A = this chain, B = another copy of it.
Amino acid sequence: MRWWGWGEDGHQVSLPEPALALLRDELGADLSARHEPVALEAVRLPDPRLPASARARLEAAVGAENVVDDRIARVAHAAGRGYADLVRLRSGDASRAPDAVVAPGSADQVRAALEACSEARVAVVPFGGGTSVVGGVEPISDGFEGAVALDLRRLDGVARVDLASLTATLEAGLLGPEAERRLGEQGVTLGHFPQSFEYSTVGGWVATRSAGQASSGYGRIDDLVEGVRLVAPAGEVRRRPVPASAAGPDLRELVVGSEGVLGVICEATLRVRPVPEVRRYEGWSFRSFAEGREAFRVMEQADAAPDVARMSDEEETRVAVALASAGGGAAERAGRAYLRLRGHEGGCLAITGFEGDEEDVERRRLRTGALLRAGGGIGLGRRPGEAWLRSRYAGPYVRDELLDRGLLTETLETAASWSRLEGLYEAVGAALRRSLAESGTPGLVLCHVSHLYRSGASLYFTFLARQSDSPLDQWRAAKSAASEAIVAAGGTITHHHAVGRDHVAWMPAEVGEVGLDLIRAAKERLDPAGIMNPGKLLPS
């Protein structure tokens, strides 16, 4: 992945003219100039300060060739892929880069590396794909003798696939596509497709309670973890994989979502499914976001949810249409005319996706369709569904282009019970709009619902604005306003992006002071020197 953005060089996207017009008109953006990242050589990088003795011990632990501190390695591990990360990296600020990148090749090497760092008081940041959007992998080493990124890419094995029990034991450093390729060889899939899929890892998913785009059907990663192995400085937590147990508190759930602060997730046994024979994705239109959400609620509570279920609000639908409208031909114009006729002009686009065998997909699709139609939906056929499927990982590429054009673009997500969802939606949208207006850069706020539960759903917000002169302050103000609104409206501070550094301030509201104390108590047992991913998850 290129050090200043997403994807590899040569994967740039370009925005169609109607999209540029919309951004100019509605955000007052001056899109004429390109705001390119600085050159790698111009990035400001502190001198490495890893004590020589610590470095020697790390080299002994993992092999000298697996401890590197060249410029590109350090810059590539200096931050995640959140908006603030990219703003700083592109401007040449890698001041928090790790002193070295250490790549263990086994759980034993992880343990040895952690022991070395504990003794030397060197902070350790477990690093999977580095795609955190909440500051989860930026080294914070104040008070330590240095910081290393523990890059898990060499832990990339498939330890075991149990086809009768439909479980697979995967090493933490496996990237999404490689994990799916290896599982696919045996006819199974994890079905876990977050937007970061191409560059994120199994361990990262487990460490952050990731939810894939198809999690309404396949389940969140927390639903998929049957067993897990965490290597910590002071020992190892190993939950033997069993389908269910009443043997006390579930320690899996302490490891899942621990974001590197308790130790390093080296391996997880995950529930898998047969590779689907058929994938069927379709579009739906609803007159309003409220109407569509209610239809989704009824569908979900009837156990009739598709594997992918998403619905954009009016604003996100409008912007998405503009972004995609470059090639709008006669058929699409006719389609829009039809929707207008049915009172759906300015309505909301939803996507449903079904995966499975032919018969299964058809049976479920018909049942879901009947419920959505009863809830006011109009089926739009496969074209919008397939368009979504093609672009499911496109977001971060588009973000690079928007950053290049001098725009703020950020996403955040929450979840709440169905009865609180309307209030949460209104409150977060209003908070973001108000904050952006106060920065003198009125913005666009888009939202979709994308993960359904019997008791509630998630809301995923995207906001766009012209960058102010203090882009980090502008971003921080908007993020804080949204977070305050989420907490006040009874939502969770994060549905699948995790806590990292960006949400730490709202953890007391989320779990209470006693709850934080319980996590701290676990950390003290597992990481007495406090070296594991300092500054993340837990307020200091």
Interface segment among A11-19, A70-78, A205-213, A437-445: the answer is A205-213
* Cα–Cα distance between A137 and B105 once the two chains are bound (Å): 48
A415 touches B245 (CB 8 A): yes
Interface hit among A82-90, A316-324, A428-436, A450-458: A450-458
Task: Give per-residue flags for A524-540: 1 if the beta carbon is below 8 A from chain B beta carbons, else 0.
Answer: 11100000000001000
Whether B418 contacts A247 by the Cβ 8 Å rule is no
- Known A226-B417, A249-B257, A518-B522; 6 more pairs at CB < 8 Å: A166-B454, A208-B246, A245-B415, A245-B494, A249-B255, A521-B521
| Shortest CB distance A82–B (Å) | 14
Given contacts A241-B417, A521-B522, contact A226 B256 (CB under 8 A): no
> Which of A116-124, A175-183, A230-238 lines the interface with chain B?
A230-238
A537 CA to B495 CA, complexed, in Å: 32
Q: Which chain A residues (353-370) contact chain B, with CB distance < 8 Å?
A: 360
What mask results when residues 399 to 424 of chain A are scored 1 for a CB within 8 Å of chain B, else 0? Answer: 00000000000000001111110000
Query: Footprint of B on A, CB under 8 Å?
Result: 162, 164-167, 208-211, 220, 222, 226, 232, 234-259, 262, 271, 297, 301-303, 360, 415-420, 451, 453-458, 490-499, 503, 507, 510-515, 517-519, 521-522, 524-526, 537
Partner of A258, one of B235, B249, B262: B249
Contact B512 A244 (CB under 8 A): no
Contact yes or no, A251 B518, CB < 8 A: yes
Given A237-B518, A419-B162, A510-B253 contact (CB < 8 Å)? no
Could you name 9 residue pairs across A and B whose Cβ atoms are closer than 8 Å?
A166-B454, A209-B246, A242-B491, A243-B455, A244-B456, A246-B496, A248-B499, A250-B257, A254-B254
Asked if residues B492 and A242 are in contact (CB atoms below 8 Å), the reply is: yes
**How distant is the Cα of A257 from the Cα of B246 in the complex, in angstroms?**
7
Residues of B within 8 A of A253 (CB): 249-250, 252-254
The verdict on A453 contacting B255 (CB below 8 Å), with A167-B417, A515-B237, A518-B522 known, is: no
A248→B243 contact, CB < 8 A: no
Chain B residue at minimal CB-CB distance from A520: B525
Please pick, from B240, B254, B499, the residue contacting A490 in the complex, using a CB distance under 8 A. Answer: B240
Contacts of A252 in B (CB 8 A): 253
Q: Which residues of B contact A490 (CB under 8 A)?
A: 240, 242
B248 A257 Cβ-Cβ under 8 A: yes
- Residues on the B chain within 8 Å of A209, using CB: 245-247
Q: Which of B166, B244, B415 contacts A243 (CB 8 A)?
A: B415
Q: Give Cα distance in the complex from A256 to B113, angstroms.
A: 34
A492, B166: Cβ atoms closer than 8 Å: no
Given known A-B contacts A237-B518, A258-B248, A243 and B456 have beta carbons under 8 A apart: yes
User: Within the complex, what minimum Cβ distance (angstroms) separates A449 from chain B?
Assistant: 12
